[in-house]
């Protein structure tokens, strides 16, 4: 890797971990209302959005590593495009956290490193399995976002609008990966992914 590529890559990692990124699309929650949130509801929304922000930190790491280690140029482009859309999510959730008077997870460096390693392993198993990992990840993320739409306060329109757009994008990413020849992730691997996600979401809600 050339020195300038390393510097650019390292700068991106720092921005992702710190939540200092710019969205290419308008924030879907910009015109929504969040009036009437109690302090407890505000903290709850912040906890959920911090979890979603961590998920986007992990998405950046996964797509970066899978794109780096695949030898297929078309897949490199697909991972890069999905990563750009996930970067929108990262910016939106970071902005919402600031509006709620909260902050990203202090464990973001850990989440990023773990996700990058998983993406690299998936890529090394070959493109069909790597794509299968994307499909399963997006399936689990969709379920997770559906649960958040049930948990978020009804009057928190800003957070709900962001989560709804995120869900639509994740469904599209999973469908795109499936159309490229993804193979199903084995049962035990799916369960392991669910267990790791449970640890992450439970911890990130508070930290």
Q: pLDDT by residue (tens digit) across 169-181?
A: 999 988 988 988 8
CA 32 to chain centre: 22
Q: Note whether 21 and 87 are within 8 A (CB).
A: yes
- The confidence band for 74, taking pLDDT boundaries of 50, 70 and 90, is confident
Can you give the pLDDT at residue 6? Answer: 47
User: What domains are defined for the chain?
Assistant: 36-206 (1.20.1260.10)
Q: Is residue 204's pLDDT more than 70?
A: yes
Q: How far apart are CA 73 and CA 163, in angstroms?
A: 31
The beta-carbon contacts of 45-49 under 8 Å, at least 24 apart in sequence, are: 45/100, 45/152, 45/153, 45/156, 45/159, 46/97, 46/100, 46/101, 46/102, 47/102, 47/205, 47/206, 48/148, 48/151, 48/152, 48/159, 48/205, 49/93, 49/96, 49/97, 49/100, 49/102, 49/159, 49/162
Can you give the pLDDT at residue 9? Answer: 56
Q: How far apart are CA 184 and CA 64, in angstroms?
A: 21
DSSP H or E segment with residue 167: helix 157-179
Q: Note whether 139 and 53 are within 8 A (CB).
A: no
Mind listing the pLDDT tens digit for each residue in 185-198?
888 888 988 898 89
- The confidence band for 14, taking pLDDT boundaries of 50, 70 and 90, is low
- The confidence band for 12, taking pLDDT boundaries of 50, 70 and 90, is low
Q: Identify which has the larger pLDDT, 99 or 84.
A: 99
């Amino acid at each position: 890797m050339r020195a300038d590529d390393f510097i650019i890559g390292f700068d991106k990692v720092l921005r992702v971990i710190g939540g200092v990124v710019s969205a290419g699309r308008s924030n879907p929650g910009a015109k929504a209302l969040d009036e009437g949130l109690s302090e407890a509801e505000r903290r709850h929304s912040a906890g959920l959005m911090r979890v979603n922000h961590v998920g986007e930190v992990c998405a950046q790491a996964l797509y970066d590593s899978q794109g780096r280690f695949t030898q297929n140029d078309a897949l490199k482009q697909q991972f890069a495009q999905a990563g750009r859309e996930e970067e929108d999510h990262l910016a939106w959730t970071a902005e919402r956290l600031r509006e709620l008077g909260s902050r990203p997870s202090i464990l973001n460096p850990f989440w990023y490193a773990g996700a990058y390693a998983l993406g690299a392993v998936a890529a090394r198993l070959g493109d069909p399995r790597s794509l299968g990992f994307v499909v399963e990840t997006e399936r689990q993320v969709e379920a997770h976002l559906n649960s958040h739409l049930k948990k978020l306060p009804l009057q928190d329109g800003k957070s709900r609008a962001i989560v709804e757009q995120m869900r639509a994008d994740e469904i599209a990413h999973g469908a795109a990966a499936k159309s490229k020849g993804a193979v199903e992730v084995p049962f035990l691997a799916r369960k392991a992914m669910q267990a790791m996600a449970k640890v992450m979401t439970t911890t990130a809600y508070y930290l």
